[in-house]
Amino acid sequence: MLKSQFDAFVLPTYARAEVSFVSGENATLLDDTGKDYIDFTSGIGVVSMGHGKNALSEALCTQLQRITHISNLFLIAPQAEAAELIVKASGYDMACFFGNSGAEANEGAIKLARKYGEQGEKKRYKIITLDHSFHGRTITTVKATGQSSMHHSFGPWPEGFMYAENIDAVEAMIDDETVAVMIELIQGEGGVQPLEREKVQALAAALKARDILLIVDEVQTGVYRTGEFLASNLYDISPDVITLAKGIGGGVPIGVVMTSRKEIFKAGDHGSTFGGNYLSATAAKTVMQTLGAYKEKGLLDETLLYFEAALERLFAAHRDVFGEHVGFGLMRGLRVKDADTLAKIITQARGEGVLVLRSGRNTLRFLPPLTITKGEIDEGFKRLERAVATL
C-alpha cells in the first residue's frame, strides 16, 4: 500500500529502499514490521541527538503549544539565543542569518560574497570551488558543486563558478574578478575526503592577503560532527563565512550563514519566511545546549574514540574488502575495493539491521548520531561484520 502510494503521488527523485520506519530511540530505529536497525547514518548527518523522546522532542512539544511561527518582522527570542550559542561555540566574532537548509545557507553565502564583490572599481563575482565538492541542489548551488555529472539539464546555469582540481590549484585560478573560494574541509559527498591542514592554512592566508573571502561549507562537518564544534576549529583557520545545517536542528529543517563580515548585508538584501522561526530556532538552541554539555563533560570524545576503535577493528579484519580508513570524529569512511562491492555491503547491512551510507564512488560512510551509546556501537558493528562476512 505505501509503495503504491509513493508510486502514484510522489515524484521519483529518490531510489528508495522499501523500508518504512515508525519509531526510534537514540541510534535504534524500528520499522513497520517490528524489525530494529542500528542507525549509523542519522538521516545523512541530521539527527545529531538521535531519534525518539529526548530533550529536543520535549522542547519542541513545549514550543508548539506556545508559538510555532511568526515572521522575521518581529524579534524572535529563541533565534537570538540560538545565534549567541552558535557564535560563542564557534570561537569567532560572527553574526548569523537563519534559513531552512544547507543549500539555502550556501546560497546566502554566495549572495553575501557577490554583494561584497560590488565594492571597488571593478566588480568581482567569481567563486572557486573544488572538484568533487557538493554544495546543494538549487540551481546556483548545483553549479557551485564541482561535479560535472550534476551539470546536466536545468540550464542555462549561473555564471562565475570555477573548479580547482585540488587545493593546490586554487591560487593559480584567481584573477581580478575572483571574490571568494568555497571549500568543504572534509568532502562529505565526495568520498569523506579531508583536505590537508597545512594546505588549507596556507590558502586561508593567501586569500586574506588578496582580500578574497574564504567560505567554509560546514553543513555536514559542523555541530561537533568532527569532535570540535566546527571543522574550522580543527584546522585553526578564521573563515570569513561559515555555513551550517543538518545536525544544528537535530531533524528540524534549518540552515545558518555565519560571517565575520557583518556589514555586508543590509535590511532587504536577504530574507527567509520560515528561517529561524520559533520552532526551528528552538531546535537549534536545544541542540546547542545539549551537545555543548555533552562535549564539555567529555562524553562526546569518549564516544568518538569508542566508535573509531570499533571501525578500525572492522577495517583490520577485512583488508581484502577495505583499502583505507578516512575521516574525523563521527564522520568516517572506509574505501571499498569497487562500487559493486560497496552496493552489496549497504544492501546486506540493511538486511542485517544496520544502516550505512555511500559516499563518492567507493566509500562506505558512517554518520551516526553523536549520542550513540557503546551498546549501540557494539551491536551495529556486530551486524555489519555479519554483512561483510557474507561477501
For 365-385, write each residue's pLDDT tens digit.
Answer: 999 999 999 999 999 999 999
> Hey, what's the cell of 113?
560574497
CA dihedral sign, ordered 336, 39, 90, 108 = positive
Q: Which residues contact 324 (CB under 8 A, 6 or more apart)?
A: 334, 335
Q: Which residues contact 87 (CB under 8 A, 6 or more apart)?
A: 93, 94, 95, 96, 258
Where would I find the H helices in the chain?
A: 2-9, 42-45, 55-64, 77-90, 102-116, 139-144, 170-173, 197-209, 231-235, 278-296, 299-317, 339-352, 374-389
HSE-CB at 33 with a 13 A cutoff on CA atoms is 7
Angle at 30 between CA 1 and CA 17, to 5 degrees: 50
Question: SS3 of 58, please?
Answer: helix
- Predicted local confidence at residue 265, as pLDDT: 97
DSSP state at residue 53: S
Helix axes 278-296, 77-90, angle to 10 degrees: 30
- Predicted local confidence at residue 189, as pLDDT: 84
C-alpha span between 2 and 23 (Å, rounded): 17
**10-residue averages of pLDDT along the chain (391 residues):** 92 94 98 97 98 97 97 98 98 98 98 95 95 95 93 92 97 97 93 94 98 98 97 97 98 98 96 98 98 97 98 96 94 94 97 96 96 98 96 86
- Predicted local confidence at residue 120, as pLDDT: 83
Question: SS3 of 213, please?
Answer: strand
C-alpha span between 236 and 382 (Å, rounded): 37
C-alpha span between 71 and 275 (Å, rounded): 9
Angle at 349 between CA 347 and CA 350, to 5 degrees: 65
Contact 363, 324 (CB under 8 A): no
> Hey, what's the cell of 318?
577485512
Question: SS3 of 128, please?
Answer: strand
Name all domains of the chain by residue range, CATH numbers in brackets: 62-263+271-296 (3.40.640.10)
C-alpha span between 174 and 109 (Å, rounded): 19
- Taking alpha carbons only, the member of 239, 179, 240, 241 closest to residue 212 is 179
| Cα dist from 5 to 2, 12, 20, 32, 33, whole Å | 5, 12, 13, 16, 18
| Cα dist from 203 to 10, 116, 195, 362, whole Å | 44, 20, 11, 28
Question: SS3 of 67, please?
Answer: coil
